[in-house]
Amino acid sequence: MFVFPSTPELIVWLLLAVSIVTAISSSKPWWSLPLGLTLISALWVGVLTPIGTFVVIIGLAVAYMTQKFSQSYWHIAGHIFVLGWAIALTIHALPGFHNLLILEKVITSPDSVPFTLYFNLDKPMIVFGLLLLLPNMMGDKPFVWQLTAKQWLGIGVGLVVLPLVAMGVGIVKPDFTIPSWIGWFIFNNLLFTCVAEEVLFRGYIQTQLARKLPIVWAIIFASLLFGIAHIAGGVMLVIVAALAGVLYGLSYYWSKKLTLAIAVHFGFNLIHLLFFTYPLLKA
């Protein structure tokens, strides 16, 4: 069932989309104005409560203050707090958010399990907190398509091989479908899901691990954590998601731009939706 959002509700997520695009387009915090308007409109519409507003503000405030402390116990404690805050928002464990139901148990094909889609307000907030914590995460130079031919080939091969692996472990099968709600899926998956997950797993976790470990291990560990985050879909999905994480991690490492990792992540999700049973093959 498709649940069409009201105009005021839609305005909230359009403002959030502007905030996200602004955040990933510039190393400057120009996103603060549209984010402020997002929170005000969300409070007005009722999808955010005063408690939820406090949750957002305290996370952003701690992230900002932590970035000001260097090499101190407060710095370490701040990183731990903000990471815990981000994980809690990602798994929808903090109060005060009424995420918007868009699709309820829709069936993309006869062989797929039901799919439910929410426009989340809590999870995207981690983008702004982690950008305050690591202001240079997005890079201060415009994206230049200067990957080598082998690197582009590696990304292309990865996008082909990953669905084959998913087929091999029995969680999807070929099934070409263009659902009527694809526009809503693209809007949500690209701007809210992929951006938030790449900022957390590649922009923050992989970057922090790479400061202490060789890049290979940083990518592997970040990818394993990314896979574990998909445990609700079963062990086989964890394996496929972890392998996908390696591809996204390499895209980030090769380009030094998180925008490429976001694009590759979204590309794989779109291929999955269009050409295979989505979200998973029915048992």
The DSSP line for 168-235 is HTTS--B-----TTHHHHHHHIIIIIIHHHHIIIIIIIIHHHHTTS-HHHHHHHHHHHHHHTTGGG-H
Q: What is the pLDDT of residue 27?
A: 78
Residue 54 lies in a domain: yes
Per-residue tens of pLDDT for the chain, all 283 residues = 888 889 999 999 999 999 999 999 887 889 999 999 999 999 999 999 999 999 999 999 999 999 887 778 888 999 999 999 999 999 999 999 999 999 999 999 999 999 999 999 999 999 999 999 999 888 766 666 678 999 999 999 999 999 999 999 999 999 999 999 999 999 999 999 999 999 999 999 999 999 999 999 999 999 999 999 999 999 999 999 999 999 999 999 999 999 999 999 999 999 999 999 999 999 7
Amino acid at 200: L
> Would you state the pLDDT for residue 7?
93
The answer to the question of residue 2 being in a domain is no
The residue type found at 184 is: W
Q: Global pTM?
A: 0.95
Residue 1 lies in a domain: no
Give whole-number Cα distances, 93 to 62, 63, 89, 97, 197, in Å: 19, 19, 6, 10, 16
Q: Can you give the residue range of the structural domain that contains 126?
A: 7-275
Q: Kindly report, residue by residue over 7-28, the tens digit of the pLDDT.
A: 999 999 999 999 999 999 887 8
In a domain, 56, yes or no: yes
Cβ atoms of 143 and 259 within 8 Å: the answer is yes
In a domain? residue 282: no
- pLDDT at 129 (0 to 100): 98
Q: Is residue 91 part of a domain?
A: yes
Distance CA 132, CA 13 (A): 21
Q: How far is CA 15 from CA 83, 92, 196, in A?
A: 25, 21, 16
Does 121 fall in a domain?
yes
- Into how many domains does the chain fold? 1
In a domain, 280, yes or no: no
